[in-house]
Each structure stands twice: as C-alpha cells, then as structure tokens.
Amino acid sequence: MRVLRGFGIFAGVLVILAVGLYGPVTLLAPLPDADMSVHHVELDSTGTPPALPEVGATAIADSAEGPVLAQSGESEPVPMAGIAKVLMALVVLDAKPMTPEGDGETVPITSRDFLRYNDYQDAGARAVTVYTDDTWSQRAVLQAVLLGSSNNHADTLAAWAFGSVDEYVDAATAWLDDAGLDDTSVVDATGLSADDVSTASDLSRLAALAMANPVIPTVLTQEVSGIAKTRGVENTTAYMADRGVTGISRSFTTQAGICLLFAATVTVDDAEYTFYGALIRMPDWNSLDHAMDALMSSAEKGVHTGPVLPADTPVATFTTPWGEKATGVIGSSATATRWVSGKPSVQVKTDGFALATQGDIVATATVSEGTSVVEIPVKIDSTIQSPDVLWKLGHPFTLIPAFFGQFFGD
C-alpha cells in the first residue's frame, strides 16, 4: 500500500509539472504541521517529603492503584500479624456482601467454634468468648475480628464463608492475584503464622482497598453493640484520631513486631486529602508513636491545595516551516489537593496543527507530581499565520505530495 501511495504521488507530481497545474496545486495543498519543542519546566518546590522511619518497613499511598508515595526500610515480604484479618474481611465481604448499615447474615456458632475459642485462649492469643448456639450477626463477627482482633472469630468467619479455613486460603490467594498484591500471601485467617507475609508497599494499597469497601469503614467507626459489646469487644485499632488517623489494624506478634495499618486525612483550605499506609516490624510502641507523629507532621506541611502549574507557564514552542513561531502556555490550570514533595514533570502532546489563532487549544500537558497525574490544556500565545504565495510556490516538493496525500491516505 505504501509503495502504491508513493508511486501515485510521484506520478501526480510529474503530471502537474507537465500540464502546468503547479501553481494552483501548491496554493491549495494542505500545509505541513508546526514542529513542537517541549520546554524543561523549572519550578521552585516548597514541598515536604513524607517522614518515614528507618526501622521496620513503612509505605504510604494515596490510592489502591499505586504506585506508592514513599517507602522505607525492608522491602521484602515479612510477617504482617493481625493485618491478615483485614485481608480476610475483604475476601469474605466479596463472597458474602452486606449493606454498609445492615447486620448481614447470621453466622452460626458451633461446638467447633467453641473449641477454637478455648484453644486460642489457652495459647494466650487474642480471643473473644463464644458459646455453642450463640447468635452472632455478620457485623458483630466483623467487629470482633477488626476491632477486637479476635483470632477465633477470624477462623469462624472464614470457615462460615468458604466452608473451611483452607478453602478461605485458596480464595484469598485468588483475590490477592486479582488485586495485584503480588508480594502478599497467607496460610491462615489470623496472621499468627510467620508465613502470613507482605510488604509495606502492598499493605498500603490494602489499606486503601479496605477503606474503599462500603462496610469496613462503618465497622471501624461505629460503636460496638449487641452481642459483641456483651462479650467485651473493644476498639483496639483506634489510633491518633485527634491527628486525623483511622486505625484499620493495630497488632503484634513476635515474628512481625508491632504493625499498624491506617488511613489518615489532612485538611488544607477546606479540602481533604487522604492517604493510606502501613508500618510493620516496629520494635516497640514508642517507636510507632514517634514514627506516626513525624509522618503526620510532614503531611500537615507537605499537603497543599493549589494550581498544578501556574496559568501561562510556557511549556512548548511551535515553529512552522515558513518561519512562524509561537509559544504553548498552560491554559486554565487544574487545582488539586496533593502531597507536594518534589518538582513536577511535564509531558506535552499535540495532534498536530499548521495554523492557529491566539488562545486556541493546541496541545495537552500531562503533569506528574508524585502519584498525582493531571492533564491540562495548552493554548497558543499568538496567532500562527498562513505562509505567503511565494513560499508556497517555492516549496513544490513539500506541498504537491501533501496535496495527493489527501486522496491516497496514510
């Protein structure tokens, strides 16, 4: 096809030159697009990067899709303690959905569940009392699991939803694969095993997935009620609420150390910015407190609301073959609330144009700043005029092929 097109254009040029249509064709031919050169945008950055601890493993993200905003410490999968229960709750809610304010289905308590309770209590692990033939709602069990970190209720919920804990593990493995959490794996529903592992990066995204679920935030924020309250379930996940932090899981095992899964919200100029994170393998509670305090202080300084790029920032120069030149500048700059921690990178794309009037949108600037990606229109700052007749007549080998290209296509 390209050979035929080239032959057709070549033949057309010869015919035009032969029959004297040279002038009309060059005057009517479409003009070539302007060339674009992209500017290196230099802007002062007053951002504050996230303050992350050197010990353990930490990561924060502002969405479940990633990439993470920042991470520190160990990068390999490590034990995650009770955070595994959050994963279990998400997998169960996919299989057994319930309304955000409803109680869900009834989860029967059997003699096997009573034996589980006794086993965990004897082992010194967290357990919440159950008796055979108790009546627990799905919400009450979730309260025991997420707020009370009850190991026996984690097993009960997993076995109720999938038939057994082993079948839950299979379902969780498939769920993790679908979610793209490739560095996370579990062998039980509780997180007590050293083989329940993940990275801080994966867990920061898991925190975002948990808070995006319509049910889990209501379990975390509503008061414990009903049988869960009667059996002594208390909110063990709440943490630094006065700093805008929502604890999703706060737990400890010898292998994992102290682990926190959380969401945090910073308010700037009446706009809210929420990020999600995980701190795992923290050596002690004081270390966790100091790390979260430093992180929240850096968020309060680093999160800003404002234009991604100031209006009229030059981002590209457009030059035509006939010598016209104009600058592409940022049009109406999008305003965003984001964690400003470094200089933005700017990419500019255009569909191509030959002529333009001052103020026309001629390109799109994609501004990346951390995980924030915003597309902004680029307008031209002056009119690009058509070339004069002499230029057109003097460029037959540019214009005549373009004339025939209209008919032969690409």
Structure tokens at 255: 């292998």
Q: What is the DSSP letter of 302?
A: H
Q: What is the pLDDT of residue 40?
A: 85
CA dist., res. 84 & res. 88, Å (int): 6
pLDDT (mean) for 93-118: 96
Global pTM? 0.77
For the chain, the average pLDDT equals: 89
What is the average per-residue pLDDT within 268-287?
93
DSSP 241: G
Amino acid, res. 62: D
User: How does DSSP assign 136-199, residue by residue?
Assistant: EEHHHHHIIIIIT--HHHHHHHHHHHHSSHHHHHHHHHHHHHHHT-TT-B-SSSSS-STT-EE-
Most confident of 172-186, 335-349, 361-375: 172-186
* CA 1/CA 212 separation, integer angstroms: 51
Q: What is the pLDDT of residues 227-237, one digit of tens each?
A: 999 999 999 99
CA distance 340 to 367: 13
> For 403-408, what is the mean pLDDT?
69
Residue 294, pLDDT score? 97
Least trusted range by pLDDT, from 34-38, 371-375, 405-409: 405-409
Least confident of 18-22, 374-378, 385-389: 18-22
3 state SS of 30: coil
Q: Do residues 349 and 363 touch, judged by C-beta distance below 8 A?
A: yes
Percentages (nearest 5) of helix, strand, coil residues in the chain: 35, 25, 40
